[in-house]
Structure 1
Amino acid sequence: MANVIIRRRMTEQGFYTPLQVTANLQAVASIRARFGAFIDQAARLTNVPEPIITAFIYIESAGNPNANTGAIGLMQIDHITASEGIFLEHRKGRLTADEKTALYRFMGSRLDCILKQKGRGQKLPCNNQTGVSVTRSELLNPEFNILVGAIYLATLIQEETVDGIMRLDKVIARYNRKYDFRPVGKNADEVIAESPAVTALYIKKFVGPLGLLETIVTV
C-alpha cells in the first residue's frame, strides 16, 4: 500500500529526461548494493518506505557517505537536525524500543540526554549546554546516518499525512528547508511555486514525471 501511494505522480513539472532515468536507476542500484542492509533496517525500524530513504540518499549525497557541506553524510543531516529529529519522535511517543536499542549502540548515554530534554535544543549539562547530542563522527557512519535521517523523515511524514495521504511534496520541502519551514500550498504545484528554486527542483526530482519515486518504485 505504501508503495502505491508514494509512486503517485504529484506534479506534471518534471526535471529528468528519459536518458537520465537509466543513469538514475544505475546510481540507485549502486546505493542499494553498498548500503541496502542499513536502508532496509532503517525502513523496518521507522516505517519509512525504503524507496523514500533511498531516493533521499541519492538526491542528498549521490551515495557518498563522506559528503560534508555543513550537513553530513549520506542523508546530509547536521548535528542539530539529527538530535532534534530523535527528540521529536520521542516527544510524539513514536520512538520505539527497537529504535532506542539501535541508537544506544552508537550514542550510549548521550541518547539518554536527548530523552531528558523538555524542548527542542534544550541546553543541559549532559549535552555540555549545547542542546546537541549527536556527533560528527556518528553522522559519518552510514548505518547511523541513515537511521537518524529516517527517524527525522518519519516525523515529517507523520506531520504531513492527512486522511491517509502522504503530502510528500511538503515532506521534501521541509527536509530541504529545515523543520520549521511550513509550506501551505494545497497541491505540489503550489508548494513548488512558493518554494526557493533549489527546493522546487528537489520536489520535481522526486515526484514529477520521470521522478525518482516514479522510476525506482516497481510495485
Structure 2
Amino acid sequence: MITLQFIIIILCLLLGTRYGGMGLGLISGIGLFILTFIFGLEPGKPPVDVMLTILAVIGCASVLQTAGGLNVMMQFAERLLRRHPQHITLLAPFTTWSLTFLCGTGHVVYTMFPIISDIAIKKGIRPERPMAVASVASQMAITASPVSVAVVSLVSIIGANHGIGHAYSILEILAVSVPASLVGVLVAALWSLRRGKDLDKDPDFQEKIKDPEQRAYIYGSDPS
C-alpha cells in the first residue's frame, strides 16, 4: 500500500514538473485528493506559522527591492570587486554569499554574474573560476541566512522539538550553519583558483580572440 502511495506521489510530481506553473499545483492537488479520499489518509494541519514567516520574508524582500536597497547593495559589491580584480575568484563567492545571507534568496545575485565575468576576463582570469563558485556560494548561504525560507522552516520543525530530544533555537542553528557554509565557500574558492587553463595558455581562447570582432565582443569597448 505504501509503495502504491509513493508511486502516486512520484507520478504527480513528474506530471507537475512537465506542465510547470499552475499545473504543478493542480496536479499535486489531484494527488492529495486521491490519497485522502481513496486511500483514507488524514491530511495534516497546514503549517500556518511557517507560511506567515515566509510571507513576512517575501514582503521584506519586496520592500527592499522597491525602495532601491538592493541596487545599493549591488553597487557596493561591484565597487569591492572592481577595486580588487586580482582577487575576483576569492571575493566573488563571498560577495554573493553575503547578498544571499542578507536577502534570504539566491535570486538576487543574478545581476552580479555579468559583472564578475567582465572583471575576470579583463584581468586575464578565466571567468568560469569565479562565476562557478559564486553561483554555488549564493545557494550555500541559504542555509545560513536567518531570513531564508529553508532556515525558517527548519527552526519551525526542530525548534518545536518534533521527533528529537532537544529543541534548537535559530541562534544555535546559525552558530553551525554560518561558519560551516563560510568554510565551504572558502575551500571551493581555493579549489577554483586552478580550475581550467589560464586564458593566456588556452589555445582555443587565443585562437578565438585573433578575430577582431570576437575580441571586441568578448572584451567590449570599456577599458574598465
Higher relative contact order (CA 8 A, sep 6+): 1
Please tell me whether Structure 1 or Structure 2 has the larger radius of gyration of its CA atoms: 2
Q: Same fold (TM over 0.5)?
A: no
Range of TM-score over shorter length = under 0.3
TM-score after normalising by structure 2: 0.24
